[in-house]
Amino acid sequence: MEYLQRLVAQFAKLPGIGTKTAQRLAYHVITMPVDDVKQFARDMYDARGKVKYCSVCGNLSEQEVCEVCSDTRRDASIICVVKDARDVYAIEKTHEYRGLYHVLGGTISPLEGIGPDDIAIKPLLTRLQGEVQEVILATNPDVQGEATAAYISRLIAPLGVQVTRIAHGVPIGTELEYADEVTLAKAIEGRRNIF
């Protein structure tokens, strides 16, 4: 079953897909109608070929400039800095944010040999010469994300642009007792007046 095993191996290479799941997916594919499999294979190939990086913000885009950057109704005075394009998608789904984005394409991680020049920090600084008034640092609340946010904030500080960090705290819909100590400490540290 050489061809089947090859497909299992392909699925198993995807993030979060273990051998058992890969097996299940491969078995499913080979019992799908041939035309459906052909379409799936084509969609996969097409998506990879058509999707590129926005030349302005680094977000994924099927055009030279992404949908957010080319939307003139967006507030060009705010830039939200994220690690990767999936974060843009996550924030867009909230329908809460109307500014622009900047995708770093990674975070500073000396252990992995990723320095400031390996992610899109310089292109961000170039963008700040225009009408930008605020930069929201929305990197992940982990060691690399915090370090990257700190590094960028030091670079921007002298430019007279306001730099903010997304709030950390207890997630909505969970119970306080299940929050970890660091999250709870951040939630208390970041407390706000309610009236």
With respect to a copy of itself, which residue has the nearer C-beta, 61 or 165? 61
Least distance to a copy of itself, CB of residue 102, Å: 18
With respect to a copy of itself, which residue has the nearer C-beta, 34 or 176? 34
Q: Does 24 bind a copy of itself (CB under 8 A)?
A: yes
Q: Which two tokens stand for residue 120?
A: 């899109």
With respect to a copy of itself, which residue has the nearer C-beta, 71 or 182? 71
Q: Which of 55, 70, 71, 89 binds a copy of itself (CB under 8 A)?
A: 89
Per DSSP, the three-state class of 18 is: coil
Q: Does 28 bind a copy of itself (CB under 8 A)?
A: yes
CA 53 to chain centre: 13
CA 145 to chain centre: 11
Q: CA 97, CA 19: separation in Å to the nearest integer?
A: 39
CB 137 within 8 A of CB 166: yes
Q: How is 112-147 classified by DSSP, letter by letter?
A: GTB-GGGTTTHHHHHHTTSS--EEEE---SSHHHHH
Least distance to a copy of itself, CB of residue 24, Å: 7
Least distance to a copy of itself, CB of residue 171, Å: 16
Q: CA 53, CA 55: separation in Å to the nearest integer?
A: 6
With respect to a copy of itself, which residue has the nearer C-beta, 17 or 163? 17
Q: Does 158 bind a copy of itself (CB under 8 A)?
A: no
**Interacting residue ranges for a copy of itself, rule: CB under 8 A:** 1-4, 6-7, 10, 14-17, 21, 23-30, 32, 34, 37-51, 60-62, 67, 85-86, 89
